[in-house]
Amino acid sequence: MFIVIGIMFVGIATGYLLRRFKLLQKVGVSISYTIYLLLFLLGISVGANKDIVDNLTNLGGQALLLAFAGTMGSLLAAWGVYHLFFKKGVANER
């Protein structure tokens, strides 16, 4: 895990130092295609794994529950932050 984070920070530093080169400003398009390719390869890997495919209904239900809970938690936190910091007149009305 530290290797991945370290590589990311080295990439950030390199991008910062070379940010004026026009070639690096066009890297965004290739990054999108690279991510699509990696997701496709991940799908192939998951599809080839018999244990995952056999337990897909159980894993899918858990994934749906986690996604729903994460989304609801994010919405609740965003609502709280909006009402605490961004809604005008709230302090005057109470």
Rounded-to-integer distance, Cα 67 and Cα 71, Å: 6
Tokens of 40: 């496709």
How far is residue 36 from each of residues 8, 21, 58, 84, measured CA to CA in Å? 19, 25, 26, 38
State which amino acid sits at residue 43. G
Cα atoms found within 13 Å of the Cα of residue 86, Cβ hemisphere only: 5
Mean residue pLDDT across the chain? 88
Chain segment 12-21, per-residue pLDDT in tens: 999 899 888 8
Chain segment 20-51, per-residue pLDDT in tens: 888 877 788 888 899 999 999 999 999 999 99
3-state secondary structure of 37: helix
Q: Structure pTM? A: 0.52
